[in-house]
Amino acid sequence: MPTALITGITGQDGSYLAEFLLGQGYQVIGMVRRASVVTLDRIEHIQDKITLVQGDLLDQICLVRILQEYRPDEIYNLAAQSFVPTSWHQPILTGEVTALGATRMLEGMRTVLPSARYYQASSSEMFGKVREVPQSESTPFYPRSPYGAAKVYAHWITVNYRESYGLHATSGILFNHGSPRRGLEFVERKISHGVAAIKLGLADNLPLGNLKARRDMGFAGDHVRAMWLMLQQEKPDDYVVATGETHSIREICEVAFSRLGLDYEDYVVRDERFFRPAEVDLLVGDPSKAGRVLGWEPVVTFTELIHMMVDSDLKLLQSGVQMPDVTEMTTLKRR
């Protein structure tokens, strides 16, 4: 039975990837960081099928110990400080976790398990102020946030460990992907949850920032499949994973509100605090290499994704589950 180590297993992608790998017959080891209250909500339903181990990307020694103890065949490095606005508030932490965390894991793999296969969760945020449309594996990077800059570092260190030491180290450049398990502060989840709250009379409006930004937005369940396919290739490489379509935040609002028979213009209010010091205006990926080499293509469409998320949040709120309001504390003062 192959063994996979997932960092970031408590996150959105970690939970979908763990489910997928269990279905492929893997033993799944999930690295979880210590917290005063442990939140395993996203993996509760599979907890008895996976092995959780305490660890943190900030601690090199613990990573080495985990690799020595479990000797995974595949390492999926998904852990990160992943929220772009927080990266302006906490740029050093973002660099430590999102950038240097990758080096710590790669260095551990190089010394303990050089025959393992490594996946780095790279991001379309690396393209930032885009140099070409659509963005492919050969598009130059121009990050627009400490998060984007950290991901560029992690991407290049992955390429360098591949080329310097011959490691099977792959970088998946994934464009935005959501799901009902998406964190509440990310825009598509903020919208789906906001719409459901308005429908049920629990909120009056939805404060948002830049509605003009455009994103290539897929379903997390589709995108994690591509991660696994990448590590099944004989040679490590870089792959863009995207839908090839782009939609504005305004369009997300239109689709989400109309799902519940509402008009977004009646409820969405402009809130300066959700604008960013530097914006990424347009992302749209060219997934042709992933299609050609991996045989990967997305299944869930943009509209299906937004409907799935709205339906799920309506059910969640109807069942009386209250989610903590995390959006307020992640606001940025406009500079």
- Judged by the rule CB under 6 A, the positions of this chain that interact with ligand NDP are 7-8, 10-14, 33, 35, 56-58, 78-82, 97, 121, 123, 174, 176-177, 183
Residue 281 has a CB neighbour count (10 Å cut-off) of 14
Neighbours of 98 (CB within 10 A): 25
Residues whose CB falls within 8 Å of the CB of residue 230, separated by 6 or more in sequence, listed in order: 119, 170, 172, 237, 239, 294
Q: Is residue 147 among the annotated active site residues? A: yes
Q: Which of 169, 195, 213, 226 binds ligand GDR (CB under 6 A)?
A: 213
Smallest separation (angstroms) from ligand GDR to the CB of 48: 29
Out of 27, 60, 160, 210, name the contact with ligand GDR by CB under 6 A.
210
CB of 205 vs ligand NDP, minimal distance in Å: 26
Stretch in the footprint of ligand GDR (CB under 6 A) among 15-23, 131-139, 185-193, 262-270: 185-193
> How far is the C-alpha of 119 from the C-alpha of 102, rounded, in Å?
10
Q: How many CB atoms lie within 10 A of CB 266?
A: 9
Q: 198 or 242, CB closer to ligand NDP? A: 242
Binding footprint of ligand GDR, residue count (CB under 6 A): 21
Supply the minimum distance, in Å, between the C-beta of residue 79 and ligand GDR: 12
Helices 12-23, 220-231: inter-axial angle, 10-degree rounding? 60
Helix (H) or strand (E) holding 106: helix 101-112
Identity of residue 334:
R
Spatial separation of the C-alpha atoms in residues 136 and 126, rounded to whole Å:
11
CB nearer to ligand NDP: pick between 97 and 300? 97
312 classed as catalytic: no
CB of 199 to ligand NDP, least distance (A): 25
Q: Quick count: other Cβ atoms within 10 Å of Cβ 83?
A: 16
The nearer residue to ligand GDR, 29 or 268, going by C-beta atoms, is 268
Determine if 294 is a binding residue for ligand GDR (CB under 6 A).
no
Q: Considering CB distances under 5 to 8 angstroms, the limit depending on partner class, which of ligand GDR, ligand NDP, none binds residue 274?
A: ligand GDR
Min dist CB 27 to ligand GDR, Å, is 28
Q: Which is nearer to ligand NDP, 34 or 335 (CB)?
A: 34
Q: Which of 26, 76, 118, 147 is catalytic?
A: 147
Q: Is 10 in the site for ligand GDR (CB under 6 A)?
A: no
Q: Is 240 in contact with 137 (CB distance < 8 Å)?
A: yes
- 3 state DSSP class of 127: coil
Q: Residue 185 binds what, of ligand NDP, ligand GDR, none (CB under 5 to 8 Å, by partner type)?
A: ligand GDR
Give the amino acid at 29.
I
3-class SS of residue 2: coil
Phi, psi of 298 (to 5 degrees): -70, 150
Q: What CA–CA distance (Å, rounded) separates 123 from 101?
A: 15
Asked if 86 touches ligand GDR (CB under 6 A), the answer is no
Stretch (H or E) spanning 315: helix 302-318
Interface with ligand GDR, residue 208, by CB under 6 A: yes
- Candidates 162, 181, 190, 193; binder of ligand GDR (CB under 6 A) is 190
289 binds ligand GDR (CB under 6 A): no
Nearest by Cα to 192 from 84, 288, 317, 295: 317
Q: Kindly list the catalytic residues.
A: 123, 125, 147
- Chain positions contacting ligand GDR, by CB under 6 A: 82, 84, 123-125, 175-176, 185-187, 190, 208-210, 213, 215, 249, 274, 276, 279-280
